[in-house]
Amino acid sequence: MLEVENPMVIDSLWNDDEKRWGVDATGEEIFEGESIVEINGEVVLESNLEDYLVKQLGAKFTIAS
């Protein structure tokens, strides 16, 4: 009979520190493989780019008319 590994044990052995790359300018963790943008020496996750531009740089998004 095969033994099934307890998921609680497997999760405790997983090391997220190896996958962690750093923290972006908005305070969100960046993991290896995520898309980032560098702006004036700051690193921002691509998914946080619009928020960063609005909150940090005062950008305004509008529609041309």
Tens of pLDDT along 4-42?
766 665 555 566 566 899 999 999 999 999 999 999 999
Which pLDDT score, from 0 to 100, does residue 11 have?
Answer: 57
CA geometry: angle 12, 18, 8, nearest 5 deg: 10
In-domain check, residue 31: yes
Binned at pLDDT 50, 70 and 90, residue 47 comes out as very high
What pTM did the predictor assign? Answer: 0.67
Q: What's the domain range around 23?
A: 16-57
C-alpha to C-alpha distance for 27 and 7, rounded to whole angstroms = 30
Q: Are strands 29-31 and 42-45 parallel, antiparallel or unpaired?
A: unpaired
Residue 2 lies in a domain: no
Q: How many domains does the chain have?
A: 1
pLDDT attached to residue 46: 97
Residue 65 lies in a domain: no
Entry field: residues in the chain:
65
The pLDDT of residue 48: 96
Distance CA 54, CA 47 (A): 13
